[in-house]
């Protein structure tokens, strides 16, 4: 595995993470640091454990029947796999955006205001401010400011995905997890999300699962290559794509399999 010599601040420090779905050993002894205000991309062939890994970062898969998780996921110094972790608070800090944009069947405004309301913000002027700032944060404000109370499901796919990112921003997170956020989008909407990712990393730590190696190369600082549940290589993106240290990484990025 490529070694990263770094003084950067760790947001996640994952140690010997193992996950089984019944007898299927889906994540194997993963050691993985994730650094602040960087974009970390996860690549690898179908079924290698990318989604499983990213979902584990905000403990989304603990309730899947038959799941068993071992090891440590230290987030800002605390092991979030401990049973007493406050998952509502964790997910406020570590937001998630999925492959299919999943707005609630409510207005654009309500989609963004929902999270802050759950966390106790009820003052209308404060909610208005959060909605405006979050939508500006994803470059959607100009497109929707005159129809904030229209149904979110009336937006285009790309707009819906940006709305979902705005919804994640509304709770003032620290980290945003993105599981193939552009795989259902056309090239222009994809480009907008990629531009957004590069802007968001000024303020947030981002982890993105992608099938698309060019996308990983365009948006990420670090790239991790998974294969059959193992983390094969984690390195600076430029290094991983130009001079991988593991033959399996080289075979994958040069299209010999996958």
Ligand X SMILES: Nc1ncnc2c1ncn2[C@@H]1O[C@H](COP(=O)(O)OP(=O)(O)OP(=O)(O)O)[C@@H](O)[C@H]1O
Least gap, CB of 7 to ligand X (angstroms): 31
Closest CA to 20 of 73, 44, 56: 56
Tokens standing for residue 255: 């299209």
Select the span of 28-36, 50-58, 126-134, 188-196 touching ligand X (CB under 6 A). 50-58
Q: Is 68 in the site for ligand X (CB under 6 A)?
A: no
Tokens standing for residue 221: 């600082």
Which residue lies nearer to ligand X by CB, 7 or 46?
46
Q: Is 223 in the site for ligand X (CB under 6 A)?
A: no
Select the span of 29-37, 43-51, 79-87, 118-126 touching ligand X (CB under 6 A). 43-51
Which residue lies nearer to ligand X by CB, 28 or 106?
28
Cβ contacts of residue 258 below 8 Å, gap of 6+? 44, 45, 252
DSSP 45-106: STTSSHHHHHHHTTT-STTSTTEEEEEEEEETTEETTSTT--HHHHHHHEEEE-SS----SS
Q: Is 206 in the site for ligand X (CB under 6 A)?
A: no
Which residue lies nearer to ligand X by CB, 49 or 244?
49
Least gap, CB of 214 to ligand X (angstroms): 16
Cβ contacts of residue 82 below 8 Å, gap of 6+? none
Binding mask 21-40 for ligand X (x = CB under 6 A): x--x-x--------------
CA dist 27 → 150, 151, 152 (Å):
42, 39, 36
Q: Measured at the alpha carbon of residue 194, what is the angle toward residues 159 and 164, in degrees to the nearest 5?
A: 35
Q: Is 46 in the site for ligand X (CB under 6 A)?
A: yes
Q: Do residues 148 and 112 make contact, with C-beta atoms less than 8 angstroms apart?
A: no
Q: Is 51 in the site for ligand X (CB under 6 A)?
A: yes
Q: Phi, psi at residue 10, to the nearest 5°?
A: -85, 130
Which residue lies nearer to ligand X by CB, 50 or 201?
50
Q: Is 92 in the site for ligand X (CB under 6 A)?
A: no
Q: Is 49 in the site for ligand X (CB under 6 A)?
A: yes
Least gap, CB of 254 to ligand X (angstroms): 19
Which residue lies nearer to ligand X by CB, 16 or 22?
22
In terms of phi and psi (left: phi > 0; alpha: psi -120 to 50; beta: otherwise), the region of 196 is alpha
Residues that bind ligand X (CB under 6 A): 21, 24, 26, 44, 46-52, 64
């Amino acid at each position: 595995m490529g070694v990263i010599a770094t003084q950067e601040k760790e947001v996640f420090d994952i140690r010997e993470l193992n996950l089984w779905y019944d007898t299927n050993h889906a994540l194997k002894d993963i050691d993985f640091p994730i650094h602040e205000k960087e974009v970390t991309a996860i690549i690898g062939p179908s079924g290698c454990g990318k989604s499983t890994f990213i979902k584990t970062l905000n403990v989304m898969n603990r309730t899947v029947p038959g799941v068993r998780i071992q090891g440590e996921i230290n987030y800002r110094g605390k092991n979030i796999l401990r049973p007493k972790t406050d998952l509502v608070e964790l997910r406020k800090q570590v937001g998630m955006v999925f492959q299919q944009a999943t707005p609630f069947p409510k207005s654009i405004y309500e989609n963004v205001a929902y999270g802050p309301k759950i966390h106790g913000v009820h003052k209308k002027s404060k909610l208005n401010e959060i909605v405006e700032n979050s939508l500006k944060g994803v470059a959607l404000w100009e497109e929707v400011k005159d129809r904030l109370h229209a149904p979110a499901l009336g937006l285009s796919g790309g707009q819906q995905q940006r709305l979902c990112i705005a919804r994640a921003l509304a709770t003032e997170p620290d980290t945003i997890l993105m599981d193939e956020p552009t795989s259902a989008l056309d090239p222009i909407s994809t480009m907008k999300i990629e531009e957004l990712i590069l802007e968001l990393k000024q303020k947030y730590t981002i982890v993105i699962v992608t099938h698309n190696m060019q996308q990983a190369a365009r948006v990420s600082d670090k790239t991790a290559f998974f294969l059959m549940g193992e983390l094969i290589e984690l390195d600076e993106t430029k290094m991983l794509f130009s001079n991988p240290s593991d033959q399996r990484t080289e075979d994958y990025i040069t299209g010999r399999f996958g």
